Amino acid sequence: MATAEVAPPERKQWSNPVEFFLTLVAFAVGLGNVWRFPYLCFKNGGGAFLIPYTLMLIFIGAPVFYLELTLGQFTSSGPLAVWKVNPLLRGIGYASLATNCFLALYYNVLIAYCFYYLVASFQMIVPWSTCGNWWNTALCTDQATLANLSRTDLALMKNMTSSPSEEYFYRRVLQISSGVDNVDGIVTHLVVALAVAWLICFLALSKGVQSLGKIAYFTALFPYVMLTVLIIRGATLSGAIEGVKFYMGTVNLTVLKSPSVWKEACTQVFYALSCCSGGLIAMASFNDFNNNVYRDTISICLVTWFTSIFGGFAIFTVLGHMATKMGVSVADVAKGGPGLAFVVFPEGLSMMPFAPLWCVLFFLMMCTLGFGSEFSIMETVMASIIDEFKTYLNTPKKIIIFRFTISFVFFLLGLSMVTRGGLYVLNIIDQYLGGFPWLIIGVVELYCIGWVYGVDNFCDDIALMLGEERRPGKFWRICWQYISPLILIFTILFSSLFYQEVTLDDYTYPSWALTLGWLVVILCLGWIPYIFLAEICGRGTWGIIKEARLPHVEWGPARDEHRQLSIRYANAVDPKKLSMQTLSTIDTGDSYDLDRAAIEIIAASPKLFVKRLSDVSSARF
């Protein structure tokens, strides 16, 4: 006797809109808000950098963010299935998913660093504050020694000494090798930390968005508590005002003449909002069809803008105190990237009274920020694959086994970045992934929706979800079609013309390692031309190519009730599947295009009150 085929489980949704909003906050606000934005402000004219950053947020960040949330919510599909809107450009989804996979790999390694520092902070004297340990060299000079030197001596010894925190990070935590070609084995304690990070990630995502939404209450809100505590404590330290002056106190408007400042503002917006990685589409796909994504877009953009500035005060008050105690300028201690989080800032915290307490709070905050983004990144990967193979992954048990398998495979792939040469590999992936892929995906996305699918159709879809009163105005239409793609194209061209080879501090990569970096770019972006050509070859003639640029027959809202709200989507629906609620809104006396079966169902129900669909509030559904 043949067994009945098991139907795939119904796609889960957020328990309430608050969970979705907090998950977006945790996803968008990540480690980069702590170590990237403050340094960019300091480097690019202080408060003047807020001008290009704010403009880029308005004209690029918000439009792309709104577009991706709308796509996910309208179709209730992940970043792979959503691009049925144009079969020729389905490669956008695979490109986004590929970037997400690389991002998830190295992001969890950074979390493993934070986790190791967190555990090491539970000591009376934090180990990165002193010399004389087995990992220190003869060049190690602690703060007590530096405090007794004059400015002249400090300047002379600048390149002849190393700090305890620097040697702790590179020689104890990383046990770093001489170069990328010298892997020199794995670092055991980092492997353990990475395994714990992936285990936490699996447990948090074992039930998908149902568990992710609950965890978001902590991962989204706790970092703000810690940032506030650090700012209050930092403001009471000597030299804090000097740090704030270097951060925002100086406004050098002349830097705005430099195209590189605008380029860095553009890329920072993509980092800050997590655009074009597929994550926004995936998170929105679990929404109710009528959720107000316009409100969410404006709110998240404001939260991200505020958090980037707010976090900088926590960093630079401590750096100002650190520079004052060392007798140097803030410019001499400020760094960007992981060097700020794992070298400079821990050293500054070690100079504070009750240093272990502040180190624990800081690295607990860093772990929370990291996990908040990593959970959403991995849920995007897992949910996208589950959507594609839902006929096979059709029971809760199979889905949990699949989620564990994915987590374990990513852990194994991440081992390459916890070797003694792992930081070189991590830096290569980070630099090449954050350059061209997201910007190019953004351009193709905007072209696909704004010009191929059509901005009018897209606005109709938004009005279908949110009601006619929330139909996008001219600002959004102009941004989607003209302003946003043109700015992104300019940024890509500028980055290409003034391209510089990737380095790690003073280390220069060999040519084969840089080739691996470009291979990462190809593995991400190569999906777009590959699927385009595959569709052309599979369909044959140019006439069929014109047909292929139209949306797939399955494009549109996922549920039949929502498809029936528009003539464009209703004809592909079997009317026997429609709920009586939807049928009660259909006007049989109007020219609404229904097939015979739908009309028979309506005619058999004489008590139904009939209204035009366009007059029915979308909130009823």
Q: Averaged over 467-496, what is the pLDDT? A: 93
How does residue 145 score in pLDDT terms, banded at 50, 70 and 90?
Answer: low
pLDDT, tens digit, 9 for 90 and up, residues 13-70: 888 899 999 999 999 888 877 778 888 887 887 788 889 999 999 999 999 999 999 9
SS3 504: strand
Is the pLDDT assigned to residue 543 strictly greater than 60? no
Tokens 């700012």 — which residue?
231
pLDDT at site 545 = 59
Asked if 148 and 157 touch (Cβ cutoff 8 Å), the reply is no
Q: Which amino acid is at 452?
A: V
How does residue 435 score in pLDDT terms, banded at 50, 70 and 90?
Answer: confident
Is the pLDDT assigned to residue 610 strictly greater than 70? no
What pairing do the DSSP bridges indicate for beta strands 503-504 and 507-508? Answer: antiparallel
Q: 487, exposed or middle or buried, with CB in 10 Å at 0-12, 13-18, 19+?
A: buried
Give the residue ranges of the annotated binding site for Na(+).
28-29, 33, 369, 373
Asked if 169 and 344 touch (Cβ cutoff 8 Å), the reply is no
Between CA 49 and CA 261 the distance in angstroms is 8
48 contacts: CB under 8 Å, gap ≥ 6: 251, 252, 253, 255, 256
DSSP-derived letter for residue 58 is I
Asked if 287 and 14 touch (Cβ cutoff 8 Å), the reply is yes
* pTM, 2 dp: 0.84
Give the residue ranges of the annotated binding site.
28-29, 33, 369, 373
- The encoded tokens of residue 327 equal 């007798």
pLDDT at site 331 = 74
- The encoded tokens of residue 596 equal 């015979």
How does residue 209 score in pLDDT terms, banded at 50, 70 and 90?
Answer: confident
Q: Averaged over 391-409, what is the pLDDT? A: 91
Q: 4, exposed or middle or buried, with CB in 10 Å at 0-12, 13-18, 19+?
A: exposed
pLDDT, tens digit, 9 for 90 and up, residues 437-481: 999 999 999 999 999 999 999 999 999 999 999 999 999 999 999
Between CA 485 and CA 374 the distance in angstroms is 28
Nearest to 283, CA basis, from 296, 266, 302, 295: 296
* β-pair partners for 508: 503
Is the pLDDT assigned to residue 585 strictly greater than 80? no
For residue 508, give the H/E element and its range.
strand 507-508
Asked if 110 and 370 touch (Cβ cutoff 8 Å), the reply is yes
If you classify domain 18-532 with CATH, what class do you get? Answer: mainly alpha
Is the pLDDT assigned to residue 503 strictly greater than 60? yes
pLDDT at site 177 = 92
pLDDT at site 146 = 60
Between CA 491 and CA 439 the distance in angstroms is 8
Indicate the range of 121-135, 310-324, 546-560 predicted with least confidence: 546-560
SS3 414: helix
| Biggest CA pair distance of the chain | 95
pLDDT at site 82 = 92
pLDDT at site 7 = 55
Asked if 385 and 77 touch (Cβ cutoff 8 Å), the reply is no
